[in-house]
Amino acid sequence: MISRFSKALLACTVLTAAPAFAQAAPTADDIAALRAQIDALKSEVEQLKASQATQAEQVAKVATQVQVTSPAKKDAAGWWGSTSISGKAYLNVSHINQTTTNLAGVTSDDVLNHGSPNGVETELKRFYIGIDHKFNDVFSANLTTDFRYGTNGTSNDVLVYVKKAYLQAKLNPAFTIRVGAADLPWVPFDEGVYGYRFVENTLIDRTKFGTSSDWGVHILGGFGNGLVNYQVSAIDGNGYKTLTRNTNTIDLEGRIDVHPIKPIVLAVGGYTGKRGKSNDAVDVNHSVTRFNALAAYTDKRVRAGVEYFHAKNWNNVTTALEPGTAPDTPNDSSHGWSAFGSFAFTPAISAFARYDWVKPTEVRVSGVTGDPKGNYFNVGVSYKPIAPIDIALVYKHDRVNNTIFDTTNGKIGGLDHGKYDEFGIFSQLVF
């Protein structure tokens, strides 16, 4: 390669000097000078070649170092690559004061729960662990455990339930089917609109006229990019805590919700069945029905809504019939409504309040003349230091007149009335 370059350089030099040679023949000194120039050019080329070789060696060394220090290329992910784990915990520290007043007007500490829950207590009311696995774009599965600890002095146990365990096939946005224990149409949807489940259960969940999950077949979907959504569930009716085959009928629960504009939601729902009590060993004298309705407005700062329910024979499916009556009597009915709202002063600080009014039954206790009814409210301020954590300072009050009413806060009420007051810090952790 050097010789070709030298020859080309010599040719150029000769051609350039041609006019001069035409005039006079080159002398020995001229030839010696030309050879000296060629030798100098050869030396420069050799130096350039050596420099390039040194640079190439340095680049190769750096490339080797990068290859050694860089993390090795990951192998294709196994089944765990399509699996995610999530969790949610409800924790509170609060003081409870609960009393019962009889027909004589005598007030005493509550003893309806086999011991008074009064006083200060730290509680981990719920701790959910969820495992989601995606097999492909159609099939997936979910397993969610529910840890329930002794709460409000009503129990001293630690129980673990399977709250959700289902196989899902999402055929298109308008049709998804789940088989197993899964979210029911109303309560989880209602919790999402309310936004403060960690403070208190929603209306029918708090008053035990509904639950959040059950075993069965669940079909759900949406149309118009979320404009209309629906869910229908064919279930056992016993709730997710009962898996034994102790019913020979299927209950149905459904919901449809409409979003005319993004912040507004309008929804109706219903339930019908035997609540998992229909079998050959038990006389089932009544069918259960329940109607639900909700209207709400939610945006980044304001959340406000109202909901209503009406239930028939919810707690007297197996109530004995009166002699000579038709199979559908005596009937009982329950109804109630709830109004809730919150306002975010900043992305981290919000104030909230809620009021529930419930008539749990039409049946009056012997010797009591007034109608059974319950009035509940809560008010508080919440703080979100980081996205996964909510902390709220809360006051709750519940008063039940002329009956004893079983709620998620225990049995409240008395022959005249009973009161329940709770004040404390409520929080949730989501990950």
Q: Under DSSP, is residue 138 helix (H, G, I), strand (E, B) or coil?
A: coil
Q: Do residues 61 and 97 both lie within one domain? A: no
Q: What is the pLDDT of residue 136?
A: 94
Q: What is the pLDDT of residue 333?
A: 93
User: Among 189, 374, 182, which residue's Cα sits nearest to residue 293?
Assistant: 189
In-domain check, residue 312: yes
Q: How many alpha carbons fall within 13 Å on the CB side of residue 9?
A: 16
Q: Do residues 342 and 218 both lie within one domain? A: yes
**Total residues found in the chain within this entry:** 431
The arithmetic mean of pLDDT across residues 267-277, rounded, is: 93
CA angle 381, 386, 388 (to 5 degrees): 90
Q: Is the pLDDT of residue 329 over 70?
A: no
Q: Do residues 239 and 339 both lie within one domain? A: yes
In-domain check, residue 96: yes
Q: Do residues 33 and 181 both lie within one domain? A: no
Q: Do residues 200 and 55 both lie within one domain? A: no
The arithmetic mean of pLDDT across residues 373-386, rounded, is: 97
pLDDT digits (tens, 9 = 90+) for 385-409: 999 999 999 999 999 999 988 999 9
The arithmetic mean of pLDDT across residues 173-183, rounded, is: 97
In-domain check, residue 344: yes
In-domain check, residue 72: no
pLDDT, greater one: 335 or 115? 335
Q: What is the pLDDT of residue 206?
A: 97
Q: Is the pLDDT of residue 29 over 90?
A: no
Across 164-168, 200-204, 280-284, least confident range: 280-284
pLDDT digits (tens, 9 = 90+) for 222-257: 999 999 999 999 999 988 877 767 778 899 999 999
Q: How many other CB atoms sit within 10 Å of the CB of residue 54?
A: 10
Q: Is the pLDDT of residue 220 over 70?
A: yes
Q: What is the pLDDT of residue 352?
A: 98
In-domain check, residue 314: yes
In-domain check, residue 356: yes
Q: Do residues 330 and 359 both lie within one domain? A: yes
User: Among 42, 32, 46, which residue's Cα sits nearest to residue 8?
Assistant: 42
Task: Give 378's pLDDT tier (boundaries 50, 70, 90).
Answer: very high
Q: What is the pLDDT of residue 65?
A: 60
Q: Do residues 319 and 365 both lie within one domain? A: yes
Q: What is the pLDDT of residue 157?
A: 62
Q: Is the pLDDT of residue 421 over 90?
A: yes
pLDDT, greater one: 259 or 248? 259
**End of a domain among 10, 38, 66?**
66
Task: Give 209's pLDDT tier (boundaries 50, 70, 90).
Answer: very high
Q: How many other CB atoms sit within 10 Å of the CB of residue 351?
A: 14
The arithmetic mean of pLDDT across residues 332-356, rounded, is: 97
Q: Is the pLDDT of residue 22 over 50?
A: no
- Between CA 115 and CA 132 the distance in angstroms is 40
Q: How many separate domains does the chain show? A: 2
Q: Is the pLDDT of residue 155 over 60?
A: no
In-domain check, residue 343: yes
Q: What is the mean pLDDT of the chain?
A: 84
The arithmetic mean of pLDDT across residues 190-198, rounded, is: 97
**End of a domain among 37, 66, 95?**
66
> Which residue range forms the structural domain that includes residue 276?
84-430
pLDDT digits (tens, 9 = 90+) for 78-102: 667 799 999 999 999 999 999 988 8
Q: Is the pLDDT of residue 428 over 70?
A: yes
76, 87, 165, 380 from 139: Cα distances, Å: 20, 22, 14, 42
99, 160, 256, 299, 331 from 261: Cα distances, Å: 46, 41, 16, 11, 40
pLDDT, greater one: 430 or 317? 430
Q: Helical H runs in 216-375?
A: none
Ranges of beta strands (E only) in 14-70 are: none
The arithmetic mean of pLDDT across residues 285-289, rounded, is: 84
The proportion of the chain whose per-residue pLDDT surpasses 70, expressed as a percent, equals 80
Q: Do residues 95 and 149 both lie within one domain? A: yes
Task: Give 10's pLDDT tier (boundaries 50, 70, 90).
Answer: very low
Q: Do residues 387 and 282 both lie within one domain? A: yes
The arithmetic mean of pLDDT across residues 278-289, rounded, is: 76
Q: Do residues 321 and 401 both lie within one domain? A: yes
- Between CA 139 and CA 314 the distance in angstroms is 36
Q: Is the pLDDT of residue 2 over 70?
A: no
In-domain check, residue 106: yes
The arithmetic mean of pLDDT across residues 285-306, rounded, is: 94
Which range, 100-109, 247-256, 321-330, has the best average confidence (pLDDT)? 247-256
Q: Do residues 338 and 393 both lie within one domain? A: yes
Q: Do residues 321 and 219 both lie within one domain? A: yes
The CATH number assigned to the domain holding 177 equals 2.40.160.10
User: Among 428, 72, 19, 358, which residue's Cα sits nearest to residue 206?
Assistant: 358
Q: How many alpha carbons fall within 13 Å on the CB side of residue 345?
A: 8
Task: Give 198's pLDDT tier (boundaries 50, 70, 90).
Answer: very high
Q: Is the pLDDT of residue 50 over 80?
A: no
Which range, 22-36, 134-148, 219-233, has the best average confidence (pLDDT)? 219-233
Q: Is the pLDDT of residue 112 over 50?
A: yes
Q: Is the pLDDT of residue 279 over 90?
A: no
Task: Give 156's pLDDT tier (boundaries 50, 70, 90).
Answer: low
Q: Helical H runs in 137-233?
A: 187-194, 203-206
